Amino acid sequence: MDEITFRLIKTHVADYYNDNHCLVMLKVLFKDHIEPQKLSKMKDTIDLLNALYEKSLLSCKDLALLYNAIKLTGHFALQDKIKATWTSFPDVREIAVTKFTEHRQKLMRFGQQVIQTDVGRIDGLYNTPTKNYKDSWEMIHHLEDKNIIKEDMTDFIAKLKQLDLPKAADALEKPKQGPDAAATPTTELDEDDFNELLTEVSDWWAEHGNIHMLRVLLSEFTTRAKTITLIEIEKINTTFDLLGLLKASGLLKQTDIDILVEATNLCGLQGVEDAIAKIVKIPNFKDVQYKNFSDHRRKLIAFGQQMNRSNMVTIGRLRGITVNENTDPFLLILKLEMKGTLAEGEKMDKFIKKLKDKKMDREVEALTKLNGKPTVA
């Protein structure tokens, strides 16, 4: 890579993380690489990247730190933006994390796991008066400075358990996993088993799931697979035919059923595991990495799960869509996507501002903070 291309990539990375309000998260991530006093004064992601460059930790000849950072922050959409400038940029999900300590990796998992209400409870425990942290990253950054969060987190983890925050505690206790430790294993299904798998999953989903939620989820691939369009997804009325669309496009195949496993976890429908287990056993089913669904798509699923019924009516009216309290929220999301309201960037920012103005706090949080696998509200 030449120097000019490297500078362009730095700009893309800085703009992306700034737009997603990730500077404090990056300060938490890079606390072992940059002096704390220097880090605390930084106001822009480009300052952080330049500091890494000055220390020869990041350069046109060595992007390993950037690969690891994208993987740990989970912002995989960024690599697609970088590929537009440098087509050789790899899929960072397949790269082992070697540039960050296990302690730092645990803090990243912790920050992604803790929701805003949890942040408030931890704030109340350690601060009088409370600091009213904007998010988990501001909290972690401050508690590290106070030496409450440190290498030996035995006491802090115990306090999390006393606050009845087991998932937050687990994020700090889990042992290190390899880059593919939680990935879906390669499957070796013959055609009959594969078709039976699709039948079992679609039957289960039809009985227990939500076809509109699945439509929203699979809209992820309307830009990746030229054979799939939003109009086609909207017209299909059965789960089996939706899965058939993925099969026909090559996204779902006998040797790769990752999408099925990720989809069931992402939609909070892990009970379908029993249907899948009839055909193939998936170790670590509930802990798979999301390789096929972007942060944006995961936020839309969380948005639908968190949407208040009365707020849904208001949101529809704001965008000229007729809905009532019995309308499925994911059907509303599909209509909003068709209108372009939920497109990443300026349109999404404008939409979120409208929700903030209407005091729709749960919906705003779903669209602005990624908390790992969402749960059914």
Residues 248-283: tens digit of each pLDDT? 877 888 877 888 888 888 877 767 777 777 787 776
Structural contact between residues 230 and 222, judged by C-beta atoms closer than 8 angstroms:
yes
Say yes or no: 79 and 116 in one domain.
Answer: no
- Mean of pLDDT values over 156-184: 73
Per the domain annotation, does 224 fall within a domain?
no
End-to-end CA distance of the chain: 47
Q: Report the amino acid identity of residue 4.
A: I
Say yes or no: 196 and 277 in one domain.
Answer: yes
Give me the CATH number covering residue 28: 1.10.533
What pTM does this model have? 0.52
Per the domain annotation, does 259 fall within a domain?
yes
Say yes or no: 245 and 167 in one domain.
Answer: no
Calpha distance 371→366 (Å, rounded):
8
The distance from CA 175 to its chain's CA centroid, rounded to whole angstroms, is 21
Structural contact between residues 259 and 252, judged by C-beta atoms closer than 8 angstroms:
yes
Residues 293-333: tens digit of each pLDDT? 888 888 999 899 889 888 999 999 999 999 888 888 999 99
Give me the number of domains the chain comprises: 4
Calpha distance 197→99 (Å, rounded):
39
| Domain containing residue 344 | 295-368
**Buried-exposed string 257-278: b where 16+ CB fall within 10 A, e elsewhere:** bbbbbbbbbbbbbeebbebbee
Per the domain annotation, does 145 fall within a domain?
yes
Among the candidates 68, 100, 132, a domain finishes at: 100
Structural contact between residues 303 and 333, judged by C-beta atoms closer than 8 angstroms:
yes
Per the domain annotation, does 249 fall within a domain?
yes
Per the domain annotation, does 7 fall within a domain?
yes
Say yes or no: 167 and 196 in one domain.
Answer: no
Calpha distance 325→30 (Å, rounded):
46
Say yes or no: 111 and 161 in one domain.
Answer: yes
Name the band, by pLDDT with cuts 50, 70 and 90, for residue 180.
very low
Q: At CA 83, angle to CA 80 and CA 87, rounded to 5? A: 145
Residues 80-120: tens digit of each pLDDT? 789 888 888 888 878 888 899 999 999 998 988 888 888 99
Say yes or no: 268 and 347 in one domain.
Answer: no
Per the domain annotation, does 377 fall within a domain?
no
Calpha distance 180→283 (Å, rounded):
12
Which residues pair with residue 62 across a beta bridge? Answer: 59
Is 188 or 43 the better-scoring residue by pLDDT? Answer: 43
What the block records as the tokens of 8 is 């362009």
Q: Is 358 helix (H, G, I), strand (E, B) or coil?
A: coil
Q: Report pLDDT for 228.
A: 73
Per the domain annotation, does 313 fall within a domain?
yes
Say yes or no: 32 and 61 in one domain.
Answer: yes
